[in-house]
């Protein structure tokens, strides 16, 4: 790919702006040699203002989403993209969230520009577990886990019942819920269906992937083994 197109697709500027940067000589190889548009330099050896380029197409990253941020590229409130470098929201192909978390849900949120990977992660067929920590308004009654595990729970305005989900009670009003699908407001609607109300919701894990020591509002790239490991869960 020509350098102008590569840099524009990574969000470094419009083609015109990027062309100007190349003429200014701020796009170089690792040794500092100025590159022209037709350079055949490998992605990892290109420098922009002396810094390595953002990751190439096929990137997967995770964010520890704080509450109060919306999973959208355009919305009125605060957007999860504001927590990433500005360039990331200008990338082509677009860097999408892998599914969504509600504005008031915190925790593990993945982003990728690889549409095929995204669909494999969210498809219930691939059985990638999504694990949520739930805090409820009222004490659990004891019947919830069996209802969620039944594979028969039908949410309002849905045409098919929910797939079996596992609930483990962790306190009087707290639980860990493992889902293999991601319907609209699913956790909140599940607890509403059993007469409770979700007060706080946090996604702690997807497959074997946890947030580790990633603090709220921070992001990091996934390693290749983390990325592939998610599909083998």
What is the separation, in whole angstroms, between the first and last Cα of the chain? 35
What single-letter DSSP state applies at residue 164?
P
Ranges of beta strands (E only) in 23-144 are 27-29, 46-48, 51-52, 60-65, 69-70, 78-79, 96-97, 105-112, 130-136
Distance of closest approach, residue 97 Cβ to ligand URA, in angstroms = 11
Using the minimum distance from each CB to ligand URA, give the nearer residue, 28 or 112: 112
Residue 179 — φ and ψ, nearest 5°? -120, 155
Using the minimum distance from each CB to ligand URA, give the nearer residue, 10 or 179: 179
Distance of closest approach, residue 188 Cβ to ligand URA, in angstroms = 4
Q: Which of 29, 37, 45, 102 is catalytic?
A: 102
Residue 224 — φ and ψ, nearest 5°? -60, -40
Residue 52 — φ and ψ, nearest 5°? -55, 150
Distance of closest approach, residue 191 Cβ to ligand URA, in angstroms = 9
Distance of closest approach, residue 101 Cβ to ligand URA, in angstroms = 4
Using the minimum distance from each CB to ligand URA, give the nearer residue, 39 or 162: 162
Q: How far apart are the C-alpha atoms of 175 and 156, rounded to whole Å?
A: 23
Using the minimum distance from each CB to ligand URA, give the nearer residue, 173 or 185: 185
Interacting residues toward ligand URA by CB under 6 A? 101-102, 105, 185-188, 201
Using the minimum distance from each CB to ligand URA, give the nearer residue, 128 or 201: 201
CA distances from 165 to 25, 107, 128, 130, 144 (A): 56, 19, 12, 10, 11
Q: How far apart are the C-alpha atoms of 25 and 21, rounded to whole Å?
A: 6
Please report which helix (H) or strand (E) contains residue 22, including its range: helix 15-24
- Retrieve residue 18's tokens: 């990027």
Distance of closest approach, residue 104 Cβ to ligand URA, in angstroms = 8
45 is catalytic: no
Residues classed as catalytic? 102
């Amino acid at each position: 790919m020509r350098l102008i197109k590569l840099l524009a697709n990574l969000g470094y500027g419009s083609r015109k702006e990027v062309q100007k940067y190349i003429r200014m000589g701020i796009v170089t190889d690792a040794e500092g040699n100025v590159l022209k548009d037709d350079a055949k330099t490998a992605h990892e050896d290109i420098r922009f203002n002396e810094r390595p380029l953002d990751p190439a197409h096929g990137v997967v990253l995770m964010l520890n989403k704080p509450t109060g941020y919306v999973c959208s590229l355009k919305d009125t409130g605060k957007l999860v993209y504001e927590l990433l470098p500005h360039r990331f929201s200008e990338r082509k192909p677009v860097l999408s969230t892998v599914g969504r978390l509600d504005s008031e849900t915190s925790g593990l949120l993945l982003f990728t520009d690889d549409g095929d990977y995204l669909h494999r992660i969210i498809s219930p067929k691939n059985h990638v577990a999504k694990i949520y920590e739930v805090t409820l308004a009222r004490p659990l009654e004891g019947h919830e886990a069996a209802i969620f595990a039944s594979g028969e729970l039908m949410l309002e305005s849905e045409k098919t019942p929910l797939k079996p989900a596992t609930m483990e009670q962790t306190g009087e009003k707290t639980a860990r819920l493992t889902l293999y699908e991601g319907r609209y407001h699913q956790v909140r609607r599940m607890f509403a269906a059993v007469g409770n109300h979700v007060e706080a919701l946090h996604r702690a894990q997807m497959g074997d992937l946890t947030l580790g020591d990633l603090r709220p509002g921070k992001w990091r790239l996934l390693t290749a083994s983390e990325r592939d490991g998610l599909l083998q869960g």
